[in-house]
Amino acid sequence: MAKIRGCDIPEDLYYFLEKHSWAKPLGNGRVRVGVTVVATKMAGNLSAVTPRSKRIGKELERGKSIGTMESSKYVGPIPSPVKGVLVAVNEALKDNPNLLVNDPYGEGWVAEMDVPDWETQKDELLTGQAALDAYEAFMEKEGFSCEG
């Protein structure tokens, strides 16, 4: 896992940088999605995370909400990095919203989606060195860091 300005950015995930969300292929068209440590650091200490369980079984467009997160600095949607059918949400986030902060790429995942055209959609996301370079540029431009 790479560290940029103190922020953990796994090179093997696929990022929708503009919305600070990620996608991880699980196989057979299933994709796990969540938010980056950059998003959680910008939001601050979370008071609530509400995955959109009522949308299970529905197709969601890229950028549409798969949940909401609330803190003293931010209240807003958690955008999906991909278009697909919502098949599962991480209910543990309701009881422990800071899973999103403490382990955003593991226990803090937000949802799973069926994305039949993953091979096409992944080309619209950043991964590997391209993602690291883009986050470095974003943090430089915004004067952002996870340190301190």
- Is there a domain that residue 148 lies in? no
The predicted structure's pLDDT at residue 148: 66
Torsion angle of C-alpha atoms 54, 29, 17, 89, degrees rounded to 10: 30
- Is there a domain that residue 10 lies in? yes
The predicted structure's pLDDT at residue 44: 86
Phi, psi for residue 135 in degrees, rounded to 5: -70, -40
CATH value at residue 126: 2.40.50.100
- Is there a domain that residue 147 lies in? no
Number of structural domains in the chain = 1
- Is there a domain that residue 126 lies in? yes
- Is there a domain that residue 49 lies in? yes
- Give me the tens of pLDDT residue by residue for the chain, a chain 148 residues long: 999 999 999 999 999 999 999 999 999 999 999 999 999 999 988 999 999 999 999 999 999 999 999 998 899 999 999 999 999 999 999 999 999 999 999 999 999 999 999 999 999 999 999 999 999 999 999 999 998 6
What is the extent of the structural domain holding 138?
2-142
pTM attached to this predicted model = 0.95
Cβ-contact 112, 87 below 8 angstroms? yes
